[in-house]
Structure 1
Amino acid sequence: SIHAAVLYVVLGDPRAEQYFRDLKANVVRIVDGNSVFRQMVSRGEVKVGWTDTDDVNVAKEAGEPVEMIYPDQQGIGTPVMPNMVSVTKGGPNPESGKKLVDYLLSPEVEKILAESESVQMPLHPGVPVPPNVRALESLKPMTFDYAAAAARGEEIVRRLQPILGL
């Protein structure tokens, strides 16, 4: 997953591998998706795990007994994954593509995304922060190279298979 690749990029391979070995020693469980994990936490089957803000929001809105913790605010920070949009170089309608990007980046669309079930963190001033997430400026975001993490994704999955017993 991208979250694991980010830790490899930020911590370096030896520290990241030790982190995952330590997780395995503490009986980490790998499940088939974020919603499966969220349900396990809600039922008390597991106490803690990694997921995204949208899954926690769904649980909180349903009255499930979960809380969101933004990790490592004194250390390397919390990974913040951006939504991305781009115009394909050499595409057939670059001007229309640019208009679409401008619209998707507008405060109006950001408000819709912030108010949706996926509770995206708004960046525009004046767009209200949804109740079940924190404002970006209240966090210590982890600094990392997104391209480097994405480029290593498949490699990291292969490396983690023997470590985590997958």
Structure 2
Amino acid sequence: MHIFGLMLATGVLSLSAIPGANAASVSLMGDWLPTIGAPELVGGAGTDFRFTIESSAYQATLSVAYTGGAPWRLVVNRSGFSLPAGVTLAVRRNGSGSCGNLIGGLDYLTVSDQGQELFSGTGDCSGIGIQLRLEGVSIRQPPGFYETTVLYTVQ
């Protein structure tokens, strides 16, 4: 049996100053720990894994606080990337939580080691759903445990 274990730590707290606010913060509750094995095979034994593997729609929930009502951007990047060659990790938001003024982030964004804006908003928000997706997992890759961390920063 080919097992491809992955840990995506997403509960990272990052702080960044927003002009006009004291110190805004972002917090995320939730991790994704998929074990990719026989149930993910497209057609049973002898076939490959599904090309795309997604977490639940609200795998994690994100909150932005202490903004003083100022506009902000949520930037994501990865740290400790150890996925096999050809595997990509992407993230998107699901819904607006308690915040009705979010812009962007509904389409998947491939997470890289360079910070990229996922979405933006104004003021404090909570309960924003975060979903993760892996693409390119294959039985041709070595079995093992892979780990990466998605960092979320509010600017």
TM-score (norm 2): 0.22
Structure whose CA Rg is larger: 1
Which of the two has greater helix per residue?
A: 1
TM-score (norm 1): 0.21
